[in-house]
Copies of this chain bind each other. A is one copy, B any other.
């Protein structure tokens, strides 16, 4: 049996559960090494099942045996699960409260009836996913490489007269022509005053002269994501933007310098935040310093002062300090970092900043 499945099995047994129902597509993909669609995973003491409908059973059988038994859903997933729960004599079954809607939970609970006790579990698979395998790191590395190339490619496009959405279109096209499945999330192209809004939605705004153009983009490769931000200028760099850029860059460097196994994420966050605060701009940096990434663009660990996480070797996350001056502009610099034995490797290190 796969090591990952073994680890989750130990965890649900510790909680006196007979099994666990995994409904998060990312968690299913992780445990099966298989890009999951329209499926559920039932891990139990008496066998591990992959439940899917007739469209996918042939392919699933090919890839998932013998670790998982593929069970074809003919009626509803709930009916299929009811039969299985009787067959496996499940009494206490864990489920992922973050990955079932209330309505789904309600119907499942009614279908299973009183013989099965559904138990809410919290982040069992998500916690395991924080530390990446060599294979996962290679995929993130490649997704990051595509994104680095896309940002290098787009430099010459950033000219007065182009619109934000056109730039996003060129990036998306580049990613698909260069080995990516597509962008990992809605590409942010934020020009001029729009860049001061950390969550700007790419618009049809036309770029003017000597403006900041903030681009936040990632590629997806075999299910794995990257996430990078760079700020470009359509002409000369205004003096204030130069100053702010230097502060953000210094904050990022100070944070990255402290990355190594055993250090708390709060300390990493603090290192960047102090640099920005020293320059009197604490309030202009309103979001977390970074987030884990892998099968999802945002996953654990969160790199924030509120988090109690401690870095481990082979965690992968972003470091992305930003300074946003409403009505003026915003600067954010974001790289993807791998925690190594002794420090942090910037996977996007070849990209200018």
* Contact among B37, B169, B182 with A168 in the assembled complex (CB-CB below 8 Å): B182
**Cβ of A353 under 8 Å from chain B:** no
Q: How far is the CA of A55 from the CA of B204 in the complex (A)?
A: 21
Q: Are B101 and A99 in contact (CB under 8 A)?
A: yes
Q: Are A199 and B55 in contact (CB under 8 A)?
A: yes
Q: Say whether, besides A55-B198, A99-B101, A166 and B177 are in contact (CB < 8 Å).
A: yes
**Cβ of A239 under 8 Å from chain B:** no
User: Which B residue's beta carbon lies closest to that of A175?
Assistant: B169
Q: Are A120 and B97 in contact (CB under 8 A)?
A: no
User: Which B residue's beta carbon lies closest to that of A107?
Assistant: B97
Q: Are B199 and A37 in contact (CB under 8 A)?
A: yes
Copies of this chain in its oligomeric complex: 2
**Cβ of A15 under 8 Å from chain B:** no
For the complex formed, measure the closest distance between the CB of A72 and the CB atoms of chain B, giving whole angstroms: 14
User: Which B residue's beta carbon lies closest to that of A203?
Assistant: B181
Q: How far is the CA of A162 from the CA of B204 in the complex (A)?
A: 30
**Cβ of A100 under 8 Å from chain B:** yes
Interface residues on A, range: 35 or more
Which chain B residues lie closer than 8 Å to A176 at the CB level? 165-166, 168-169, 172
Q: Are B165 and A169 in contact (CB under 8 A)?
A: no
**Cβ of A106 under 8 Å from chain B:** yes
For the complex formed, measure the closest distance between the CB of A74 and the CB atoms of chain B, giving whole angstroms: 13
* Contact among B55, B97, B98, B186 with A182 in the assembled complex (CB-CB below 8 Å): B186
User: Which B residue's beta carbon lies closest to that of A168?
Assistant: B176
User: Which B residue's beta carbon lies closest to that of A179?
Assistant: B204
Which chain B residues lie closer than 8 Å to A186 at the CB level? 182
Q: Mark A180-191, 1 if CB is under 8 A from B, else 0.
A: 011000100000
Which chain B residues lie closer than 8 Å to A168 at the CB level? 176, 182
* Contact among B105, B177, B197 with A102 in the assembled complex (CB-CB below 8 Å): B105
Q: Are B103 and A101 in contact (CB under 8 A)?
A: no
Q: How far is the CA of A227 from the CA of B101 in the complex (A)?
A: 26
Binding site for B on A (CB under 8 A): 35, 37, 54-55, 95, 97-106, 120, 122, 165-166, 168-170, 172-177, 179, 181-182, 186, 197-199, 201-202, 204, 286
10 other A-B residue contacts (CB within 8 Å) besides A55-B198, A97-B102, A179-B204: A55-B197, A98-B103, A100-B101, A101-B101, A101-B102, A102-B104, A165-B182, A166-B177, A169-B172, A172-B173
12 residue pairs from A and B, CB less than 8 Å apart: A55-B199, A99-B101, A101-B101, A102-B102, A165-B181, A168-B176, A168-B182, A169-B176, A170-B173, A172-B172, A172-B176, A173-B173
